[in-house]
Every structure is written in structure tokens, then in C-alpha cells.
Chain A
């Protein structure tokens, strides 16, 4: 085992099970979310959303709404001067330009739920009342709801491009044709995952305030990436960046969807500026389901080539991702990720995958925890289990033979073109067999595998194991400003943002260890653009690694200033001073505590630059029991073992892993955004969009390891917020297939609803 390469300090907050600082206020009901704030004289916004999935707007009549009580204004595209602004991409590539989302529909609507007007009224109730007072005359066009009809160009969403393909990403490595020519065994399948959304419990909300005197716009309700959104807003508003602030309050979940720049972000701010009034908007759950980023609607036709003893030789095929009506800021991430990361933790010498980003008349897609990785993992793990059966190789052995080892690091994945700046990437460190073996042990595979396919008390039991990697530490940089307050306490201003993951705790732990002072003396402020000049935020499992490393840099700089200040006071050279536990000491016994130099106004800017991702890796085990009468699948046991390089806080880490696993069960069993053929979303509430509840999946066990620290950052840590969800689709579905092996059931599509599971069994019975 390698030693940690983090500095050794006398404090040991890092690695400990430390209760979250945030929870003191959350558990007391003292959290402050967007809807907890209001401004004198504010107007409330409500959005008129297209009920037609695809059509040409002939006219919009707002006169009735304007005449309704309490209605102050109605904004449509006609109120926007010049071109309708489009939302910029965070990861642009050469082909997606025409597919950017306009902030309001002017000539055409392209999805059910697209904003066509904004009502401003004295209360949210009155604003909602007035929605019925807006009538849009929309001439319907043929609707594209799936990739197949999108690729047939049966109807074009964007006439100017002549195609419904926003981009085609190609992931390549080695000589794939030669690999398949040399193969002893080839497995091919067509599989799919369903459309979902991330569903943070707190829906979106914004409060925009315009200070006409100073020409300044303040937007509260920021999440995820306030600084990117600030520069986006400033450009759209033709304001200097310094004239816009994004304020982050408590945030009830992000998961990739919350905090991206959406049309409503601009419109609410536009209303505030146009009428010089605070404008507040709280998204309701029905519009949340149709308006926030969707994700995960993907299918594949992929084949894997093996040698006769189960060694992977190559992978080729096509992926089709239904990205909805526009390319959102992060809309391409799942597409390119699915292509690049499908090989996951396995040694795959030859790859050719084409991933098609198909535009359709559905809500535009974005990222959802483990974007593209969850989908790709489902595809490859289903193929591996079927290959094991076809080859007659044990399911553990076929994985173990192909998992990457320490000696192979860093290991290059397929190159993805067109490049979005990250065409190439390498797994950074680790021995993937170690977690795998630990998972096999923890799951008690030796005993549990005896249950495979057995019918016990009316239920069929099945087990499976799967492996994953998780990309983390998204670049390019994070900043942290540190101020020594008058009382000797530390204020830490982080560019990272809080989305419920506990960064106030994590960053305070790191700072406390490096400054060698009690954690209670550090207060973390985060996210808002008025706290520091530049920051990046929380996405791509980056806050701990990027934000934490920036904090280390700030700590080092603060200690250096402390040394100088203390040296001055003691009248010695700085080199003569030893600093430990917040006190500067001389060999003669004289000392200066940190608080004493507060009058020197010590303030430092720390930063960490890094473009190299970290790769947490792990294995997951599932034991399921299937009721053949109802099609219900019970998750009897679920184990996930991962190596995160370095554990900062085992409690928050396990919270991330368990939460992600349970979220994944929702993906496998219950959650689906279903559309009819007219492109209307049939899911309008949480009675139809079934997320996991507290009692549904009681058994999730996780074990975290830190045997191979990441060489990319001073903490040695790896991003760990998403790994928990990545393997769930594959491993649970394989366990269901294993349980139903006597019927020969091979699930190809998710979710595994009771109805679908029962039908698979019934169809197999009929076939037999």
C-alpha cells in the first residue's frame, strides 16, 4: 500500500466520520432556500408553456391575461429586441451551434413545455391564474419522439441544418476490425435505458433584482456553477460581468440538472430589469418535470469480441441518445461520455463506437449523475454476463481477467472526436481487482451464489456483480479565498458550490487539518459570485478534489503570511519560526498565536489548476428476489465497494454512495418520463414519476477503500459523488436475469417495472 501524499498534520479531521456542519441548521429547520426569501414589491413569474410538441407559432394573444386581476405584464418573444439570445454551451464542438436553445420560442415550438410567454403578477396564484388567459395559435408539425424517426429525417426540427443529428461522436482505439477478425466469440445485443430526470427535491427558483442606479443585476437561486452562469447572463444582458452577481442559498439537490442556465434564468432577470422590479419564480413540480433537463434516453447496438478464455479483444457499435429539442449547455456530455466510458474499468484494446446525438420533440436533455456512464455501464455489463454464459466462463472470472491493474496505470481510454477539449483521458491510478475481490468477499459470493435461479417461498433469487469507473475532479481550476478574522477565526470563501453534498464540512475539515486549528474556528462561505473574483462550482464530482486542493493552497499561503507576521513581532527571521497547531514558536520558547496577528489583515487567494480527471473505481453486488406473480423485484442485498483515493469524511462519502445507489434503484425500477405519440409528457406529478422512498430499499452496504491515492492532486482524493449510481442498472438487471435464468429471460430495456418483468416471464413461458 502506498502512503498518502497529503501533508502530515497533527489534526485528523481528514478521513474521520464527522457530522455535517450544515446539518445543525437543516435539522432545526433553519436552512434558507430560495423560497424563504422575498423582496418588498416583488412580482411573481409564471410561464406559459407550449402544449404542442412541434409547431409553427402563428400568433400569441396575451390580451385576456393582461386584463386579469394582479397581472402586471406578459412577456413574449416580441418583447425581446433583435435576435432571441441562445444559451451557450459549456462544452462546445463544431457541429452543435445551430441547436442551441433560444431563451423563448419565437417562430417555432419544439417541445411540450417550451416557454412561449412569461406572466408577471402580484402573487404566484394570480400569475398561475393568468396562464389560462394566453392563447397561442400554433400550426402543428409532424412530431419526432425517438431516435429512429429523428435519423430518418421524417420531420426536421431545424430546417437550417437539414438534419436531426446534432453531433456524432466517435470513440476510437486500436484496430477494431482486426480484433473482431481474431475473436473466438462475439456477443451482440440491442439494449436501452429510459428517459429520466434528476429530480432534486427542491425545484428550481430564482429571484432577480435590478439596481437601476448602479446598473447591477443580482440573481439569487444559483446552484452548481454560479460563475459560468454569471458570465452567460452578463453577455446576454450586454452588461459587464462585474455588474452581475449570482447568489447561492441552500440548495435542495443538484444531481446535474439544477443550476444549469435555463431559459427561465434569462427571462426572470429580463423582467426584473425591464420593469425595475424584483421578480421571483418558484418552479412547480409539474413544470419541473417538463422543463428541467432530462437525461438517460439511450439505446445501443453493440458487440464485444472475446478470446475463448474470456479476454476482451474489442468493442464496436452504435449508441443513440435522444437529447430532446435543443442542445443545452451540457447536453453533449452524456453522449460523448457514453462513447468514451463504456469500456469502463476493463482492458479494451480496440474500440470503435459511434454515438449519435438525435434531436427530437422532447424536453432538451442535460446531465444526470453519472451522465453517459450509467447508460454505458448498463450496456457493457449486460453484454458481459451474456458473454460469460456463451463462453462458459464464470461471471466473476470473466471480469477479473479484464479488470485493469496497477501496473497498467495510467491507462488510456478511447479518444473521442469531435473534441470538446477532453478527447483523451487516462485512468489515473488503482488496481481494479482489489475492489472487485473485496466486493466478492463482502457480498459473500461463495454462499450467495448458491441461490442463483432458486425458487424460495415463491420468489426466484438471483445475484450479480458489476464494475465501474467514475470520472471526477472536472477542471480547469478552483479558487478559495481565506481571511484571518479579528478574533483569530478563519473565514473561507470557496468557489465551489453547495448542492447538498456537504462542502461546508469537507472544506472546513481540510482547512482545519492544514492550519492545525479546531474545525469550529473555520466558517465556510461558498458559491456566490460576490465572495471571490472567480470560481467554478460543483459538477463532475469536483468540489472535494478541486475545491479542497484550492483550500490547501490557501492554507499554505496563510501560514506563510503568519510566519512573516510572527517573525516581525518576535524580531527574528521567518526561518527561525516553527508553526504548529496555530501557534508560531521559537526555539527559546517565545510564541505568537494566530489570533495575535489578526491586526495584520491576513488574506490570501488560493487556487488549484488541474485538467486531469480522477477515476474512482469499484464493484457492486446485487441480490434480488423476483415475485413471478406480480413481477415485483425485491433488492435483498446490495453491496458497493469503491476506492476513492483518499477518504475525507467517511460519513458524507457513504451518504453519497448510498444515496446514489438508491437513486439508481429508482432508475432501474420505477422512474420514467413517458411521452405519447403527439410528444406530450404523460408524467405530471410524483404520483406518476416514482422516485425511491425511504422504505423501498432498506439494504445498501458500502465499503470505501483508499489504497491508491490519485497522483493528480495534493489530497490524493478522487471525485466520489457519482460512482454509486453508475453500476446499478447493469448489476441489478443482471441479477434479475440470473434469478429468471430458468426462463431464459434477458432484459433489454429499463425500467424493470412489475408489468414488464411479469411479461418477460410470461412470454418466456409461452415460448417454452
Chain B
């Protein structure tokens, strides 16, 4: 569990970083918070020849809040998100989810961009990005492009990023005033990888009905997934106990999780529904206030 040999560079600009990754031809990897790549290397599961540390690149920093929404630089750390009082108002689902990320020490180092690029299906951030229709800004040798969250995750620990592309920022659309939301996950110990988790939000119309429903789940498939059947069960309904029950049942019915050493498939399938039921109960209580 000692690190294999590798070279290290910490360029001061995005273009230099992209050039280094390009030259690495797939054998170079960006380093952001290092909370996943370094343990993976220590386990000798990956042995990149070069780590390109993004810490010195100013373009990757900062949280910008505007009428259009929120833009968070890729190197913004979990701690920065939790410390930002405005985010609790303008994008409250995000900090609520980030509270569940690992432990204090990891939250001090881990970054939003690193988590999205790492694409661990058990991570909170990919599921939140999916639920909130986030757009991922990336830059590579061929220039800039935007990737919708739904198009980023292609499998467990794999994305549609090419080897020379770096995530620059994540954009979240503006948060409507009448939006209900909640994030729920269950882990064996606080801070462990969740056995399952859900992010849910919807807008409440004048008649109190749920509109623009978005529900995503983590740790239930190879990628974070939208729970479309649960969304359909909610869309246009007043989120009372019956509606919540229907959404919960739909969520359990539509997922097909795998079992592992921590939990059976059968348990995870039921757990998704249980967690969505709890999330929606809290979400509804929030709008009632």
C-alpha cells in the first residue's frame, strides 16, 4: 500500500495542465483533492506515470451566485460549500447532501470537480448533479465544452471526459422559490459509502402540486440514476402520505441494485423506497412551513 513511482507537476494555468495531460496520452491523471486517486494508487489499482496537480490554477476556484444560478469552481472543496451561508439559501439541496460526504478530514480536501470526474456511483455529488440538471464545464485540447450531468457518467468510475479534459466548473440552474427538496442516505457508519441514497426536489405550484420533479439515486447502479417511475408517480400530485407511498413503491420497483459484502440486493431495493419516502416526507414538511 505504498504509492508506485510517478511524476508530479503543479502547473499554474489550465492550458499547461491540459498540455501535460495531452502529452501523457492517457497515462497522466489530474490530481484535485486526492481523496480517491491516492488510495487507489496505494492499492496499485492505478499506476499513472504523472499526476497533474490542479491546486495552482486560479480558474478552478470560486463560488459565483447570480440570478442565472450558481457556478462552483471545480477545485472548490466540500468544506467551502458547507461554509458558504448563501448556498444554504440558493441551492439548499447541495449542502444538505454534502453533509454526508465522508469525514471532516476528507471534506477539508475533497473537491466538487474531483468527485464528479471520479464518478463513484456511491458518491453524493454525482447524484445531486443529476437531480439538479447541473452542467459540467470542461476544457481540453479541443477547447471548451459543456456536458449535461446526465451525459457525464458512463459507468462505475468512468465518465465521458477524454483523458486530456479537465472539469473547470459546475453550473446549477437558478433555484425557484417554491421548491421542495431533501437528501437522504443510509450508511453503515456515519461517513461510510452509502448503501443507498436519494436526492429529490420538485416545484410546488399554486394548487400545491409537485411539478418538475427530479429524483436521483446513488449507490444503486453503476452510475447515479434518475428514478423516472418515482418522478412520474409524483408529477402533478399533491405530496400527501398516499403520494409519498406511491413514489416510494415506484422507486423500489424500478431499481435493480446488486448485492455486495455490505448489503443484499433485496435490501437495497427496499431501502431506496424507504429513503425516498423519508426524503419526501421531510420535503413536504418544509413546504408546509
Contact = CB atoms under 8 A, between A and B. Distances in A.
Interface of A: 124-125, 128-129, 132, 284-286, 629-632, 669-670, 672, 674, 682-685, 687-688, 690, 692-693, 695-696, 753-755, 758-759, 762
Nearest to A693: B189
A672 B3 CA distance: 27
B270 A754 contact: no
Contacts of B3: 125
Interface of B: 1-5, 39, 43-44, 186, 188-193, 195, 261-264, 266-267, 270-271, 274, 277-278
Contact of A629 (B188, B189, B278): B278
B182 to A, nearest CB: 15
Nearest to A669: B188
Contacts of A629: 271, 274, 277-278
Contacts of B261: 672, 674, 682-683, 688
Given A125-B3, A128-B44, A754-B188, 6 more contacts: A129-B5, A630-B271, A693-B189, A695-B190, A696-B189, A758-B267
Contacts of A695: 190
A129 B1 contact: no
A642 B2 CA distance: 44
Contact of B264 (A129, A672, A759): A759
Contacts of A669: 188
A696 B190 contact: yes
Given A129-B5, A284-B1, A687-B192, A632 B186 contact: yes
B43 to A, nearest CB: 7
Contact of B2 (A128, A683, A696): A128
Nearest to B196: A630
Contact of B263 (A286, A688, A753): A753
A718 B11 CA distance: 63
Contacts of A284: 1-2
**Which among B1, B3, B192, B193 has the highest number of chain A CB atoms within 10 Å?**
B1
Contacts of B267: 631, 754-755, 758-759
B93 to A, nearest CB: 21
A669 B190 CA distance: 14
A684 B43 contact: yes
B278 A670 contact: no
Contacts of B5: 125, 129
Contacts of B278: 629
A46 to B, nearest CB: 9
Nearest to A666: B189
30 contacts: A124-B2, A125-B5, A128-B2, A128-B44, A284-B2, A285-B1, A286-B43, A629-B274, A629-B277, A629-B278, A630-B271, A670-B189, A674-B261, A685-B39, A687-B193, A690-B188, A692-B189, A693-B190, A693-B191, A695-B190, A753-B263, A754-B186, A754-B188, A754-B263, A755-B195, A755-B263, A759-B264, A759-B267, A762-B266, A762-B270
**Which among A631, A674, A682 has the highest number of chain B CB atoms within 10 Å?**
A631
Contacts of B277: 629
Contacts of B189: 670, 690, 692-693, 696
A587 to B, nearest CB: 66
**Which among A630, A687, A758 has the highest number of chain B CB atoms within 10 Å?**
A630
Contacts of A685: 39, 43
Nearest to B273: A629
Contacts of A125: 2-5
B195 A754 contact: yes
Contacts of A285: 1
Contacts of B188: 669-670, 690, 753-754
A753 B262 contact: yes
Contacts of A693: 189-191
Contacts of A128: 1-2, 4, 44
Contacts of B1: 128, 284-286
Contacts of A690: 188-189, 192
Contacts of A682: 261
Contacts of A755: 195, 262-264, 267
Nearest to B271: A630
Nearest to B268: A755
A631 to B, nearest CB: 7
B213 to A, nearest CB: 22
Nearest to A682: B261
Nearest to B4: A129
Contacts of A687: 192-193
A285 B4 CA distance: 17
A286 B39 CA distance: 12
A687 B45 CA distance: 15
Contacts of A688: 261-262
Contacts of B264: 755, 759
**Which among B191, B192, B193, B261 has the highest number of chain A CB atoms within 10 Å?**
B261
B205 to A, nearest CB: 30
Contacts of A758: 267, 270-271
A747 to B, nearest CB: 16
A129 B2 CA distance: 9
Contacts of B39: 685
A124 B3 CA distance: 10
Contacts of A692: 189
A57 to B, nearest CB: 24
Contacts of B192: 687, 690
Given A696-B189, A753-B188, A754-B186, A630 B274 contact: yes
Given A284-B1, A753-B263, A758-B270, A630 B186 contact: yes
A362 to B, nearest CB: 15
A294 to B, nearest CB: 16
A145 to B, nearest CB: 15
A754 B188 CA distance: 7
A86 to B, nearest CB: 29
B37 to A, nearest CB: 15
